[in-house]
Amino acid sequence: MDYYEKVNELLSSKTPFVAVTVVDTSGSVPNDVGTKMLVTAEGLQHGTVGGGKVEKRAIEESQEMLRSDDPTRKTKFVNWSLEKDIGMTCGGLVKLYFEKHNCTSWQILVFGAGHVANALVLLLLKLDCKITCVDPRSEWLEKMPKTAALTKVQLEDMPSYVSKIPDNTFVLLMTMGHSTDKPILLEILKSRKFPYLGVIGSEAKAIRLRKDILEAGMSEEMTKAFYCPIGLSLGSNHPQEIAISIAAQLLQERDRLNG
């Protein structure tokens, strides 16, 4: 497999990776201008920028970029002295360009893996986002594709997962019904605040949930802290059309928050 075939494979699987290119050299160096390598969180995946200490340092730099949540850190340019910066005896200079791919800052978490959730996840996987789906039913989670962009969590006690959700996540409650959505919603309202929080259901369910919130001793303000029903007012009750309306609302809210 050549370099560009591997790039296409990583892009298609939505695996986060860094492409590293040698853009210039001078003096005695163990690499040629134009050599490339691909690095994932697991390490070197393809190619080389010369091996040895230079490559080890470039892999470490790439993995540090992958760990960073800063959306502005998608590229990096370095100019290393092999003697001073790398600790090699040869006195050359090497310039490397790092470019991060498949590392989105848009996180979406879906509680529930039923018909509408499955349709929504399939649609969202075509967008630049990372998705987590939590559900106690393995047979429903298995219906979803295996991809690096989707994390599946099989869990009976879904409210216990609330504490693990990153602060910048868009959260949707789409479980089996009111009895399973309610404890998750109450746990979120007690302890967390997310940029988007929505619960699938009708206006009647929304009224019931707001009553539940007041009965739990929370403020009137908390009854307005989530969307229910979710999605824009368009389409039919077909799962795919509901999914489109929800995805449209998520995009609308993402763009509004990003200014």
pLDDT digits (tens, 9 = 90+) for 102-129: 877 789 999 999 999 999 999 999 998 8
pLDDT at residue 53 in the model: 86
pLDDT at residue 108 in the model: 96
Least confident of 30-34, 98-102, 210-214: 30-34
Residues near 206 by beta carbon (within 8 Å), at least 6 away in sequence: 199, 228, 229
The residue among 225, 202, 232, 201 whose CA lies nearest residue 114 is 201
| Section 146-156 average pLDDT | 91
Could you tell me the pLDDT band of residue 212, with boundaries at 50, 70 and 90?
very high
| Section 237-257 average pLDDT | 94
Q: CA–CA separation, 109 vs 15, rounded Å?
A: 18
Give the start-to-end residue ranges of the domains of the chain. Answer: 3-101, 107-257
pLDDT at residue 174 in the model: 97
What pTM was computed for the model? 0.71
Between residues 32 and 137, the one the model is more confident about: 137
What's the CATH number for 107-257? 3.40.50.720
Could you tell me the pLDDT band of residue 162, with boundaries at 50, 70 and 90?
very high
Q: Do you find a cis peptide bond into 159, omega within 30 degrees of 0? A: no
pLDDT at residue 218 in the model: 94
Say if residue 249's pLDDT is above 90.
Answer: yes
Say if residue 50's pLDDT is above 90.
Answer: no
Distances (CA, A) of 162 to 75, 125, 181, 208, 213: 33, 22, 12, 22, 17
pLDDT at residue 69 in the model: 66
pLDDT at residue 17 in the model: 93
N- to C-terminal Cα separation, the chain? 42
Say if residue 71's pLDDT is above 80.
Answer: no
Residues near 2 by beta carbon (within 8 Å), at least 6 away in sequence: none
pLDDT at residue 54 in the model: 87
Give the helix ranges, DSSP H, for the chain.
Answer: 3-13, 52-67, 115-124, 138-141, 178-191, 203-215, 239-257
Say if residue 199's pLDDT is above 90.
Answer: yes
Q: Which amino acid is at 216?
A: A
pLDDT at residue 203 in the model: 94
pLDDT at residue 16 in the model: 87
Question: Do residues 111 and 199 touch, judged by C-beta distance below 8 A?
Answer: no
pLDDT at residue 224 in the model: 94
pLDDT at residue 72 in the model: 65
| Section 17-43 average pLDDT | 88
| Section 204-230 average pLDDT | 95
Between residues 5 and 26, the one the model is more confident about: 5
